[in-house]
Every structure is written in structure tokens, then in C-alpha cells.
Amino acid sequence: QVHTERERTMREFKKSSKLDHVLYDVRGPVVDEAARMEAEGERILKLNIGNPAPFGFRTPDEVVKDMRQQLTECEGYSDSRGLFSARKAIMQYSQVKGLPNVQMEHIYTGNGVSELIQLSMHALLDDGDEILIPSPDYPLWTACATLAGGHPVHYLCDEQADWYPDIADMESKISDRTKALVIINPNNPTGAVYPREVLEQIVEVARRHQLMIFSDEIYDRLCMDGVEHVSIASLAPDLPCVTFSGLSKSHMIAGYRIGWMVLSGNTRCMSDFLLGVNMLSNMRLCSNVPAQSIVQTALGGYQSVETYVRPGGRVCDQRDFVYRALNEIDGITAVKPKAAFYIFPKIDAKKFNIHDDEQFALDLLHEKKILVTRGGGFNWEQPDHFRVVYLPRMEVLAECMDDLADFLSTYHQD
């Protein structure tokens, strides 16, 4: 490329320093390396991204048909919170889940839950405000809290206790600046589903310290083994709660971009926060209207996801397979996930001398063409975990597990 003198002397445009401490590794450097290898013609086995459609999980036909029919009606902006029909369906869904005191004006649709996580963190956090976030987490929560100027403080989830939050650790991390706590239930990356007793203890902590509760429940319809999903907001009618869900995972339409958040419980103490949420919601005008238009059909219609998560269904069978295969590998142990489509195995870091989990992921990629996400990408501090997405078909998973076992049979980090 030829540069003119004027081009060469142009000042440099640096990224905002607000991004200096923002981590979002689910699509980070190891993924970039995989893309580079793919561009060179390598075939990469991708166990890194929770995007169901490319793995053959199809959207229910009626949802696609509904979208097609409604498209011509969806050319304009909607109300900034969302279409009446979508919010009404979300309201009914919230009532079925026992969320107390839900009103139509407290329901917001978004371009995925992602947009609403960002929006709510900006609406709540002042510089230096603290928010409790699980470790491991879905890293968008930490990233958005940081970007909003807040200070994410991580509480531990305990692998020995089925990855449930360590309540004592959670409480010990509360300070005068703590405004809120986040739970991800069912959890990404661990696949844990929190029982009622655990949720009640979390509610008690929030009650004692006057914290707002944010609950990310995007996997609530992907529970297995007959496990019941309880919305924490249903146990906290006296507290300010914000519950997040959407259709990306339950209806396999991550690409349509539709999610929502519902404020419930003590909305009186949230009135100023609500003004902030309204302002930010108005500023983005509205979420994707065609995607909103199918919410009613999706929530009220055939729940194809149920066939995937029952025994004999793809998600359930693949979970069983991966869980067994991982635990058979010398140096790996994994807790059985109860929901979603992730497993977060532990590697014996001492045995393999692993001190850098990004290097581990890169070595696995280079040697076996398998792409996983390192534990550090989920704000897990020790270099001894990685996340596997078990959405690919059984044949692919079987090949990956064999290759992983082979890789680890000789692996030793320098």
C-alpha cells in the first residue's frame, strides 16, 4: 500500500481508554487465530460458541412463517420498550414464572439480552459503584459493568457444590459501594441450575444489604433431568429485581436478536433507575421490530426446545456423552451440567504444568484444530478450566473428545 505524506503524518486514533479493562474473550485472540487458520484452508472443530442454528437446531416452522407474514407490517419503529403484543406475551410468561407486580411499562425488549445488559449497567452504575458478579460468569456482565464505569466484584461459584454460588464469599465481598448482585441461572459456562434453597439464601443477602438483583435467565427453558427452574424474582416481592430472558437459545434464533428484561417486586425504589432505563431505551429508539413481532407466537406456540432437552433429545444426549467422555480423560474432571449447552471442565493444571490458559487453548487449536474458550475468558482466575459447547453433532463431539484425550496424553506447558 502506498501512503502519501499526508496519510503518513495523520494523527493516530486510539481506542477509548474506557475499553482498557474490558474483557470479552468469547470472541477473543484464540478465535482470531482460528479464523486465520480457517482462511488458510484448515478445518476447525468449533466448541466455542453458543449459537445453535449452525449446528442444525432449527427454529420452529411457525415462528419463521409468522416472521415472514409480519415482515411488511414491521417497517416502522415501535414503541421504544417494544410492541404491545410482544410485551403482553412476556408479561404472561413472567406471571407464569411467578414474578410479582409486573406491569407492562416495566417490560423492555432489546436486540438480544446483550443490549439490555449493557443498557441496564449504564442506567445503574456511577463511576466506582460496585456490582457482584459470579466467577465464572458470562463475561458480558463484567464487560458492561466495567464499560459503564462500575467496579465488578466477583463472588465464587463452588465447583464442589455443583457450581452453586458460595453465599459466604458473596456476602464477604459486599461493601458500602455495592449496589446490586447478578446471578446467571441457569448458568453459562457451568450449566448449573440453582435450587430454591440457594436462591432464597441469595435473596436474604440482597435483603440484608439492600441490593438490587439482576437475574440472567436466558437458558430457563433448557433445563434437563426434570430440574425445575425457579426465577429468583418470584422469591423476592419486596426487592427490586430485573429478570432477563429471550428467544436466542430457547427458540434457536440467536440471529433474529430478541430478548427482554422485566422489572418486578419493589419497583417503587427503582423509579429513578427507571427514568435512566427509559432515557437509554428511548435513545436507541426501539429494538428490532420483525423479531419482536414473533415473540407472541414463539412464547405461546410449539416449544421445540423441549424435544431437544429430554432424554433422547440432541442436547441431552450430547450432554451425557461429553460429560462421560471428559471425565474418562486422565487429568480432567467435570461437573454434570443441568441446563444450557455448556460444560466447564477442570484440567489438572499441576499435572500439565498449565500456568497460561490462553496458551493451552492455542496449543489445542494448533495441534488438534479444536477451538475451546479458556476459563479466564469467564473471569475465572485460575488457569485450570475451559468451556466446551456441546452443540455439535455426536460424531463431531466424539472426534473432539478422542483428539483432546490424545493431545493431553503428551501435553506439558513450558
SS3 of the chain: helix, strand, coil, percent, to 5: 45, 15, 40
CB of 82 to ligand PLP, least distance (A): 14
Question: What is the footprint of ligand PLP within residues 318-377 (CB under 6 A)?
Answer: none
Structural contact between residues 157 and 165, judged by C-beta atoms closer than 8 angstroms: yes
Cβ atoms of residues 158 and 166 within 8 Å? yes
Nearer to ligand PLP, 244 or 323 (CB): 244
Does 248 bind ligand PLP (CB under 6 A)? Our answer is yes
- Residue 259 touching ligand PLP (CB under 6 A): yes
Specify whether the backbone of 225 is left (phi greater than 0), alpha (psi in -120 to 50) or beta: left
Do 185 and 218 form a contact (C-beta atoms < 8 A)? no
- The backbone torsions φ and ψ at residue 239, rounded to the nearest 5 degrees and listed phi first, read -115, 155
Identify which of residues 25 and 216 has a Cβ nearer to ligand PLP in the complex: 216
Residue 363 Cβ vs ligand PLP, minimum distance, rounded to whole Å: 25
Q: Does 185 bind ligand PLP (CB under 6 A)?
A: no
CB 232 within 8 A of CB 205: no
Which candidate, 51, 88, 72, 83, places its Cα nearest to that of 288? Answer: 83
As a whole number of angstroms, the distance between CA 387 and CA 344 comes to 5
Q: Is residue 254 within the footprint of ligand PLP (CB under 6 A)?
A: yes
- Give dist(CA 341, CA 194) in Å, integer: 16
Q: Nearest distance from residue 51's CB to ligand PLP, in Å?
A: 8
Q: Which is nearer to ligand PLP, 109 or 178 (CB)?
A: 109
Which phi and psi (to 5°) does residue 153 adopt? -115, 125
* 246 lies in the site for ligand PLP, by CB under 6 A: yes
Q: What does the block give as the cell for 4?
A: 502519501
User: Which of residues 240 and 259 has its CB atom nearest to ligand PLP in the complex?
Assistant: 259
Q: How far apart are CA 126 and CA 129, in angstroms?
A: 5
Site string for ligand PLP, 102-131 (x = CB under 6 A): ----------xxx-----------------
Q: Classify 385 as helix, strand or coil.
A: strand
Per the DSSP assignment, residues forming a β-bridge with 244 are 216, 261
Nearer to ligand PLP, 140 or 354 (CB): 140
Sorted by sequence, the CB contacts under 8 Å of residue 241 that are 6+ apart come out as 99, 212, 213, 214, 215, 232, 233, 263, 264, 265
C-beta closer to ligand PLP: residue 99 or 192: 192
Least distance between ligand PLP and beta carbon 218 (Å): 4
Nearer to ligand PLP by Cβ, of 184 and 401: the residue is 184
Distance between CA atoms of residues 208 and 64, nearest Å: 46
Site for ligand PLP in 37-56 (CB under 6 A): 50
From candidates 218, 332, 361, 408, binder to ligand PLP by CB under 6 A: 218
Nearer of residues 252 and 354 to ligand PLP, judged by Cβ: 252
Residue 246 or 377 having the CB closest to ligand PLP: 246
Among 188, 296, 304, 373, the residue binding ligand PLP under the rule CB under 6 A is: 188
Q: Which stretch binds ligand PLP (CB under 6 A): 77-85, 246-254, 280-288, 400-408?
A: 246-254
The binding site for ligand PLP (CB under 6 A) comprises 50, 112-114, 138, 184, 188, 216, 218, 246, 248, 254, 259
